[in-house]
Amino acid sequence: MLRVPSLKVGPDLRIFHSMNTTKRTVACVIFDIDGTLTQTNDLIFASFNHVAEKYLGRQFSPNEIIALFGPPEEGALQKVFGDENLEGIMEELCGFYAAHHASMASLHAGIDDVLAHLKDRGIRLAVFTGKGRRTAMITLNALRIAPYFDMVVSGNDVINHKPHPEGILKVLEAFGLEPGQVLMVGDSLTDIRASRAAGVRIASVLWDSYEPERVRQANGECVFDRVEEMLSWFRAHIN
């Protein structure tokens, strides 16, 4: 049975493992989706505002929408719309998200090379995202990267959302791995906190982060400004 520890966050969080590791010590890499693998932020904001305009006659700023998330889309919608017609509003949001995905979302350039490099070398790949399963799978399938991943943990698959480590612990349990064998890659402070609470290593990426300087300061160990830098690091450590 999965044991979920209580989450401790704050300035006393420590680095559990040095990133100056020898080759092949990483057996599994867990990726966040939005802002890490994909450029989907504009699509997320537009999808939320599509239903907000229809049902409330108003729109929300990106910062207002970001503040609502943590739980997946259903939780964010419930905060604004309540329980009435929540299922219908969710259907409309997902419909807009799917219909506009091709024009408003893309992979960050070079991400497919990163995933192919890791997969070709037998590294287990997983996703841990705060997105709901429906939008997560729309994105992974539409951008043709779903086959790379052995496991997807969405916001609908956990009781405790980021920065709680439950999603990471599910991956560890499913693959029978120790924390020291796993690397999380994400763009946010919640990814850092979840990783350290789970005892896994964390690589932070800044190419699409909401708060890059805070993320850089909080990590202080392994930070990538460009996808090419991350690919070079993997080539040096996993071959």
pLDDT tens column, 104-131? 999 999 999 999 999 999 999 999 999 9
d(CA 210, CA 230) in angstroms, rounded, equals 19
Model confidence, pTM:
0.89
- The residues with which 128 forms a beta bridge, in sequence order, are 153
The amino acid that residue 133 corresponds to is R
Q: What is the pLDDT of residues 126-169, one digit of tens each?
A: 999 999 999 999 999 999 999 999 999 999 999 999 999 999 99
Instruction: Tell me: pLDDT of 23 over 60.
Output: no
Q: Which numeric CATH code is attached to 28-39+106-237? A: 3.40.50.1000
201's CB contacts (< 8 A; 6+ apart) are: 16, 17, 19, 26, 180, 182, 183, 184, 195, 222
